[in-house]
Structure 1
Amino acid sequence: MITLSWTRKVDAAETGDATGTSCTTRERLWRALLHKAENPVGYVPAISECRVLERYDDGFLREARRGSQLLVQRVTPDAAAGRITFRHADASDLAVITNQMGEDEDGDLTLTLSITLTDAPSSAVLRENSYLHELDADFAATLDAMTAVLRRSALQVADDA
């Protein structure tokens, strides 16, 4: 599967107060992200309506309309990680959408939006783009080699303990 991500600073320089202090705290941003997860209309231009279908101990199931498409998503907030995960429970080309709070090199709050494509569109992209196909093959082989060594190292550490 292919994952794409985009990161933006939450407070642009012009939104700070006269002392240059950020207007947004991590807690305020988290509350706003939770509100957006339940009520995306007004936050996500492509979503025209949304309703929560069920609630769980660790999140909720929502139905959102994006153009003519009706999306069903299992939403899981993780406050400790500063992340909200939207797993698609429908036939969308997207498997997962993630909103991740972070900080840039200056300590300013950032928001990263990432999407993970399902297998079908991922395969199509890799077939059509030789650069991404080669990159995928190279890093898949690297990950295979890394996990083999990590597995052996973990077993050795367990045997030494």
Structure 2
Amino acid sequence: MLTLSWTRPVVDTGQEGRGGPTREKLWQALLHKAEHPAEYVPAIAECRIHDRYADGLLREIRRGEHTFLQRVTAQEGAGRIVYRHLDHTDIAEIRNEIGEDEQGRLTLTLSITLTDDRAAAILAQNPYLRDLDSDFHGTLDAMTAVLRQVSTGAGTAGTQTAPPDPNGS
């Protein structure tokens, strides 16, 4: 899978310390956005809630000429709302996540995870991304092999079982 993300501070420069949003108020605004996305996302024309659950809802949105069915899950402890597409689209999942920057200001991260088919098509068209993907897949394979050993007590992190990671990750 291929995930892209963008992060922005929620408070504009110069607004710090002047009654900006709190984490709780931002969380409540994200919950409102989940039910009323047209007020927040210019590309969404309308939204219908089909069902409600203890952890979220099932909604149908219209974006341009397309209609999408999404299972929305609110994860308050993580400060994250996940929108999983239930119908065929290029996007498997969208996330809105509250965080903090280096100065302690609240941030919002918007990320999308593309479906495997779309990610494969993009990687096939772009040699740089394909090489980067291949390199980091290898890095992740090496890391997880060592982490499995260390976390089960079968080895120590100082025992090299895989070639060194050229990325230093």
TM-score where L is the length of structure 2: 0.88
Aligned residue runs from structure 1 range 68-87, under 5 A: 68-87=65-84
Aligned residue runs from structure 1 range 42-53, under 5 A: 42-53=39-50
Partner of 2:148: 151
Question: Which one-letter code corresponds to 1:6 in the other structure?
Answer: W
- Structure 1 residue 64: Cα displacement: 0.3
Percentage of matched positions with identical amino acids:
58
Structure 1 segments, 4+ long, off by >3 Å, are none
* Secondary structure of the structure 1 residue equivalent to 2:150: helix
Partner of 2:2: 2
Aligned residue runs from structure 1 range 56-71, under 5 A: 56-71=53-68
Indicate if the aligned counterparts of 1:11 and 1:22 stay in contact, CA closer than 8 A. Answer: no
- What are the superposed Cα offsets for residues 73-126 of structure 1, whole Å, 9 maximum, x if unpaired? 000001111000000001010000000000111111100000000011100110
Indicate if the aligned counterparts of 1:9 and 1:104 stay in contact, CA closer than 8 A. Answer: yes
- Structure 1 residue 14: Cα displacement: 4.0
- Structure 1 residue 153: Cα displacement: 1.6
Aligned residue runs from structure 1 range 75-154, under 5 A: 75-154=72-151
- What are the superposed Cα offsets for residues 102-155 of structure 1, whole Å, 9 maximum, x if unpaired? 011111110000000001110011011111000000000111111111112222
* Secondary structure of the structure 2 residue equivalent to 1:80: helix
Partner of 2:158: none
Indicate if the aligned counterparts of 1:59 and 1:77 stay in contact, CA closer than 8 A. Answer: yes
Q: CA separation in 1, counterparts of 2:138 and 2:14? A: 45
- What are the superposed Cα offsets for residues 5-41 of structure 1, whole Å, 9 maximum, x if unpaired? 000110102445xxx4351111110000000001101
Question: Which one-letter code corresponds to 2:52 in the other structure?
Answer: R
TM-score where L is the length of structure 1: 0.92
Structure 1 gaps, min length 5 = none
